[in-house]
Amino acid sequence: MQGRLVAGRYRLGEAIGSGGMGRVWRAHDEVLHRVVAIKELTAALYVSESDQAILLARTRGEARAAARINHSAVVTVHDVLEHDGRPWIVMELVEGRSLADAVKEEERVDPREAARIGLWVLRALRAAHTAGVLHRDVKPGNVLLADDGRVLLTDFGIAQIEGDSTITRTGEVVGSVDYLAPERVRGHDPGPASDLWALGATLYTAVEGRSPFRRTSPLTTMQAVVEEEATEPRHAGALGPVIDALLRKDPAARPDPTEAEQMLAEAAEGRRPREAQAYVPTRHSGPSAQAATAMPGTAGPAGGTTATPYRTTTGPTAVAPAPTGYAGPPAAPGGPASGHPPAGAAAHRPRRRLRTFALVVAVAALIGAGTAVVLQQRNGEGTSAGPDVSRSPSASASASASGTAGEGTGGSVPDGWVRRDDPLGFGLSLPEDWQRTEFGDAGGDLRQVDYTPDGGEHLLRISVDTAPDYNDPYAHQLDLEVQLQRLVDYRRVVLERADYRDRDSARWEYTWTALAKDTEFPGPRRAVSQTYMSHDGVEYALNMSGPAGDWETTRERFRTVLQSWQEKTA
């Protein structure tokens, strides 16, 4: 399409961005002789005629919304047109990159710079709100960082203009779920405070390098937005209290734009905003909370032995890995450190959500998170943790049964391999020097075992779920893959349905680049996973990971493991 003339006026150059709704092109306006950006709404090619009309209405709405806002921090829209049966938007070309790209390339943004960026985004939002326009999709991908130092807010494609009738279907959720305010998830009408929430989530992503509420699926992400508190940011500096203030669940409890602007201005100067402290929830810690950290020395599945503690919270918040170097696990905001939920909080977390979260974290750990997971489950008497994890050779050896070299249910195995009858009930053959580590949830539905000879550079992980969330292994792997898109250089090699011993199964191979901050074994890596359902409804997932340069050895080992595998029979 490069070089094509659109509407007899705009000559397309190279594509400079793409997303779920379309792509953005650099183009030359041959009438005014200037360089512009053109957004092509490719989604119109794949929808019905009635939906095309809705899409066109949204596009025109975006142009009208942007046209009503007069501010240097808002990308100017020059024109909206129809070409080849779909809408196109002609915009100011901003030479630079998005905040999302900056986070991806640099891992995180300096908090003072993030505060400066947030200040300009807030000013753009204030101008929009004054013009009666709600953005409704503030996120890092819609914040542009120009090469000349400017910060601009773009993409008012789902903006709502005061007084306009909605063009959104009843019940339809619009916007990126990671950045939806709680009131929007609940179906309430958004207001200016909803855009401020999204700004808070965007700033959190900027300084921490990850979204504060992203979970295993859009549904569980929205549940986290409504029910859970964001993990306390470690790299936010003076910006931390401002983020806390913007992420208050109650929109009425968030600062107004004037207060927020003052806070961001102070944080941009490196000063901790005094006004923001009033919005920061009190956090408690004590002996009970300190005792809840994971055992040190856990095997980092993508390589390296780590000593990463885990942050625990009361109420409905799931257990999640705390960043490396975190000193201790405070209790949830508003609750004591005793492990009991605060008054009015849910005392029981749905098991289904916990298992899904556990499985995703297990896969993330396998491919390079550098930590293992200690899962906790709320019950009527408080919090009970799963079994301790030990990396001592003696503990590992005693946990796995001895066997005879060269034996296996699936035929002959290489020299130096032995039969392992695992305490979880399954059996398989492995090299004699591979050591065992077990972890899982307290309820016993999900158990996970690692075998590795070298602290995780080469790893076999086996997950056994007696009450799985999915009855289709292929669908489960597709869902897990979504969570791995954040990995550097992630690439799917194969993800397909397969038969394994006459059972419904799926095989998934992928590659990525492990970072030195996550593992003692950085560099290109490759993994393979075989997931299947047993006749009695148990989900088994066998995963193996190793350096990409040693893939032939890893693949041959995995083939032997699959041949020798025997699931629990009693």
Residues with catalytic roles: 137
Q: Give the Å distances, CA to CA, from 311 to 120, 229, 285.
A: 33, 12, 11
Token pair belonging to 523: 């560099």
The residue among 235, 208, 307, 295 whose CA lies nearest residue 520 is: 307
The sign one gets for the Cα dihedral 233, 237, 241, 246 is negative
**Residue 493 backbone dihedrals phi, psi, to 5 degrees:** -90, -50
Question: Strand, helix or coil at 187?
Answer: coil
E strands, 107-163, where?
Answer: 133-134, 143-146, 151-153, 160-161
Q: Give the Å distances, CA to CA, from 264 to 134, 201, 233, 475.
A: 20, 14, 16, 43
CA distance 234 to 281: 16
Distance of CA 145 to the CA centre of its chain: 23
CA distance 531 to 527: 13
Question: Strand, helix or coil at 179?
Answer: helix
Residue 566 DSSP label: B
**Identity at 182, one-letter amino acid code:** P
- 8 A C-beta contact, residue 144 and residue 75: yes
- Burial class of residue 247 (count of CB atoms within 10 Å of its CB; 0-12, 13-18, 19+): buried
**Rounded to the nearest 5 degrees, what angle is found at the Cα of 446, between the Cα atoms of 367 and 499?**
70
- 8 A C-beta contact, residue 384 and residue 442: yes
- 8 A C-beta contact, residue 542 and residue 505: no
Residues in Cβ contact with 569 at an 8 Å cutoff, skipping those fewer than 6 apart = 425
- Burial class of residue 348 (count of CB atoms within 10 Å of its CB; 0-12, 13-18, 19+): exposed
Compute how many other C-beta atoms are within 10 angstroms of the C-beta atom of residue 570: 3
CA distance 140 to 178: 11
- 8 A C-beta contact, residue 48 and residue 69: no
**Identity at 155, one-letter amino acid code:** D
Residue 548 DSSP label: G
- Burial class of residue 207 (count of CB atoms within 10 Å of its CB; 0-12, 13-18, 19+): buried
- 8 A C-beta contact, residue 65 and residue 161: yes
Residue 166 DSSP label: P
Residues in Cβ contact with 396 at an 8 Å cutoff, skipping those fewer than 6 apart = 390, 435, 436, 437
CA distance 418 to 430: 6
CA distance 447 to 359: 10
